[in-house]
Amino acid sequence: MPSVRFRLNGVKTDIDADPDRSLLDILRGHLGMIGPHFGCGAGECGACNVMIGDRAVTACDTPLWSVADKDITTLEGLGSPEWPHPLQRAFIAEQALQCGYCVSGILMSAAALLKRNPAPTSREVKEALDGNLCRCGSHNRMVRAVLRAADEMAAG
């Protein structure tokens, strides 16, 4: 098996696996990540979103070979209870979820948005999250939470 190298949440990672396998399968099945969730397997719901570099990407239809030498961030790498990312704090403060299965992917889409646009409008947040499906109807709270995180980051 050829080996594929990348950085996962800042850690050098080396995987011997069929390079055509999906990144999601590798992250969950081999690397013990549970942040990215399986939702559809077809890149249609965003539950499995991770960041590759500064972009949010659906991991379920991203082949392993395509992430060689890339920087991958999953929800595990976004922040921790001790050092939460402003988005994580804001989602708690706004109680911005119901079941929360989709939220790990949504946090990654939002994190990517704030990297390229630190002061988004509500419309821009909605556009950035449009590839993420939420079935419980927590959308408006999530948008508020992203705007709150942006404010907090701007305030430093």
Partner 1 sequence: MNQPTSPKLPVSLAANPKLSSWLKFSAQGQVTVSPGKVEIGQGIVTALAQIAADELDIDLSRVQMVRASTAISPNEGVTSGSLSVQQSGRALRHACAEVRQIFLRLASERLGVAIDALDVEDGTISGPGNVATSYWELAHEVSLDRDATPDVKPKLATHRALAGSSVQRIDIPDKVFARPRFIHDRTLPEMLHGRVLRPENARAKLTALNEDAARAINGLVAVVRDGSFAGVVAETEHGAEAALKALRKDAIWADGEPLPDEDNLAAFLKAQPSESTVIDKRTASLPGVSKRTVRRQYTRPYIAHASIAPSCAMAQWSGDHVHVWTHSQGVYLLRADLALVLKLPVGNITVEHLEGAGCYGHNAADDVALDAVLLARAAGGRPVRVQWSREGEMSDAPFGAAMVIEIEADLDAEGDIIDWRHSVWGNGHAARPGRAAQPALLAGYELKAPFPRMISTNPPQANGGGGDRNSVPLYDFPSWQIESHRLTTMPIRTSALRTLGAHGNVFAIECFLDEIAAERGEDPIAFRLRHLGDERAKNVIRAAARRAKWKPEKRPGIGYGIAFARYKNTGAYCAVVAEIECAADISVRKLTLAVDVGEAINPDGVINQIEGGAIQATSWVLKERVRFDRQRITSTNWMEYPILRFSEVPEIEVELIQRPEMDPVGAGEAAHGPVTAAIANAVFDALGVRVRHLPITRDRLIAAMEQAS
> Which residues make up the interface to partner 1 (CB under 8 A)?
21, 25, 28-29, 33-35, 37-42, 44-45, 47, 74-76, 79-81, 84, 88, 91-92, 95, 97-104, 107, 125-127, 129-130, 132-143
* In the complex, minimum distance from the CB of residue 7 to partner 1, in angstroms, rounded to a whole number: 18
| Helix (H) or strand (E) run with residue 47 in it | none
Q: Burial, 118: exposed, middle or buried (Cβ in 10 Å; 0-12, 13-18, 19+)?
A: exposed
Q: Which is nearer to partner 1, 1 or 155 (CB)?
A: 1
Task: Return d(Cα 44, Cα 39) in angstroms, integer.
Answer: 8
Q: Which is nearer to partner 1, 35 or 112 (CB)?
A: 35
Q: Which is nearer to partner 1, 69 or 142 (CB)?
A: 142
Contact 148, 113 (CB under 8 A): no
* In the complex, minimum distance from the CB of residue 124 to partner 1, in angstroms, rounded to a whole number: 11
Pull the structure tokens for residue 42. 């077809």
* In the complex, minimum distance from the CB of residue 115 to partner 1, in angstroms, rounded to a whole number: 18
* In the complex, minimum distance from the CB of residue 133 to partner 1, in angstroms, rounded to a whole number: 6
Alpha-carbon torsion 65, 69, 72, 76, what sign?
Answer: positive
